[in-house]
Amino acid sequence: MNPELAVTELAEPYLRGLLTSAGLDVEYVRGEGNTLYRLDAKGQETPVLDYAGGYGSLIFGHNNPEIVARARELVDGGVPVHAQFSFHPYANRLAAELNRIIHRELGTDEPYYATFANSGAEAVEAAVKHAELDRVLRVSETLEELAAGVERARTAVDDGSATVPDAVYAQLATERPADDPLAPVIDEITRRNGERAAQAPVFLALEGGFHGKLMGSVQLTHNEAYRAPFAALGVRARFVPRGRPEALDEVLAQERGVLLGLTVEDGEVRVVEREHPVFCAFLLEPIQGEGGIQVLSDEDARIIQEFADATDCPLIIDEIQSGLGRTGTLLASSQTGLRGDYYTLAKSLGGGLAKASVMLVRQTRYRAQFELVHSSTFAKDAFSCYLALKVLEMLERDGGRAYRQATERGAALQATLEKVRTAFPDVAKDVRGRGLMLGFEFHDQSEAEHPAIREAAAGGLFGYVIAGHLLNRHSIRTFPTASAVNTLRFEPSVLLTDEEIGRLEEALTDVCVILREQAGERLVLS
Ligand code: F0G
């Protein structure tokens, strides 16, 4: 083997460089609960308290013993992991269990059909694809219905039982011809319908939202750096600002349109209008994760729900980060009264061992044909379905003890973050979130006195430098996100102890003191 090759970084070398500059280029060799282990200079394992929690994919922690035991049992028992195009009762059980819990939380008994996938972005794309299939079918059903009306008008005019009044020509900006009175009317309706139906669908998403980085999903993700270079590859989304609901009225006024048809009433032909289903879907996170832990307000939720109901725009509620118990319920959105046409779940669904995601669509929107046009080699595999069933069992057991733990542990962590913020209002700007999905935002430091702090802030690296210090000085792992560089995210497991919360308090206090005293030289970055 070429010895050079052994050390040259070929797996995303640029990223490795970035990690190095913030002191975050650490290899973890073992994980257990909320702890990851790195090797020190002597090759000894050193524990690191993990508040990043696999970007929120570890609701029961790293290598939870019960989940690991189940995984072992499956592998030792020779479970056929990949048996595509066969009967999958375990997938059906998982879908049924998800339904049972969702029905309880939403107070409904309408079935949600499940399409399995492998990653969060993939589940989002499955939902969007399904919504578009449904929209296209709704457009063609409306056009067919309108064509039947036109046919009836044609028969009535031909057999003399109906006439075409002047108002119809005026409405369509055409003229009454000398011969066939319906010909220009039908031509104009057909032309306008053709034009309208060919319009690209409109996607709505919230500013600050994150729904993945694949070709389709990245266009629904707000961060321009992720989205803009690939604009030509995907769909066009309109981003709606949070807290400015009147923006939805503007969107509606600009985008809505009608499909036209004819009817016969009292011996006269009339033009009828049907709403053109132009909105493919409205995507939102009940709590934005990558966007810096932004909780959707009850007021915004109500307005979005009303808009979706009034315009027949399907709601895709992305619970990939907020779901699976993290905020005390399977669906964080069930606490805000939102009712999704679609839900996406991923991250913790695989129990921290499998890669699994699911897209759920309510029966009233469901199109069975979707099953024939969407699939993946790896989706719906036995290993991930059984582990997801295990995760649900662990969430639900003892009357939902894990949900209560998430709420209670989250509240304890939030109270501590709040305590630090209150002690350092000059440094700490905000504490946000719910349950075990929390954010701690610092004030902007781009005008800071200390050059190291100021330059880090100016370069958009402030949060990463703080993360580096937390890791190297305090053995605590957490990060900001690319979309919210001044906000640290905390997404530990339900196993979080008071001692672990105490360690974070101490570490954050140290960071706040450094910032207050502008003692950038005390930041430990390697
Ligand atoms: N939707 C949400 C709400 C997410 O938080 C993520 C990922 C995705 C979709 C995409 O999932 O990575 O499995 O394809 N969020 C990570 C984060 C990357 O940093 O919050 P994926």
- The ipTM estimated for the assembled molecules is 0.99
Question: 321 in ligand 1 pocket by Cβ < 6 Å?
Answer: yes
Residue type, 354: A
Q: How many residues does the chain have?
A: 526
* Global confidence as pTM: 0.96
Q: Ligand 1 mean position to 120 CA, how many Å? A: 6
Ligand 1 pocket test, pick from 58, 284, 290, 436 with the greatest ligand atom count within 8 Å of Cβ, gives 290
The string of DSSP codes covering 182-235 is THHHHHHHHHHHHHHHTSPPEEEEETT----SSTTGGGGS--HHHHGGGGGGS-
Q: Is 487 in the pocket of ligand 1 (CB under 6 A)?
A: no
Give 519 Cα–ligand 1 centroid separation in angstroms: 35
Could you tell me if residue 256 is left (phi over 0), alpha (psi between -120 and 50 degrees) or otherwise beta? beta
Cα angle 6, 10, 11; round to 5: 115
Task: Please state, in angstroms and rounded to a whole number, the distance separating the CA atoms of residues 412 and 492.
Answer: 12
Is ligand 1 within 6 A of the CB of residue 478?
A: no
Ligand 1 centroid to residue 347 C-alpha, Å: 8
* 222 Cβ closer than 6 Å to some ligand 1 atom: no
The residues near 419 (Cβ < 8 Å, ≥ 6 apart) are 505
Evaluate the CA torsion angle 378, 381, 387, 389 in order and state its sign: positive
Nearest CA to ligand 1 atom 9: 211
Ligand 1 atom closest to the CA of 124, numbered from 1: 9
Q: Tens place of pLDDT for every residue, the chain, 526 residues?
A: 455 556 788 999 999 988 998 889 999 999 999 999 999 889 999 999 999 999 999 999 999 999 999 999 999 999 999 999 999 999 999 999 999 999 999 999 999 999 999 999 999 999 999 999 999 999 999 999 999 999 999 999 999 999 999 999 999 999 999 999 999 999 999 999 999 999 999 999 999 999 999 999 999 999 999 999 999 998 889 999 988 878 999 999 999 999 999 999 999 999 999 999 999 999 999 999 999 999 999 999 999 999 999 999 999 999 999 999 999 999 999 999 899 999 999 999 999 999 999 999 999 999 999 999 999 999 999 999 999 999 999 999 999 999 999 999 999 999 999 999 999 999 999 999 999 999 999 999 999 999 999 999 999 999 999 999 999 999 999 999 989 999 999 999 999 999 999 999 999 999 999 999 999 999 998 8
Joined together, the tokens standing for residue 484 give 């919210």
- The pair of three-digit structure tokens given for residue 468, joined into one six-digit string: 């580096």
How many CB atoms are located within 10 Å of the residue 385 CB? 27
Among 59, 219, 320, residue to substitute to test ligand 1 (most atoms within 8 Å of Cβ): 320
Q: State the Cα–Cα distance between residues 457 and 17, nearest whole angstrom.
A: 18
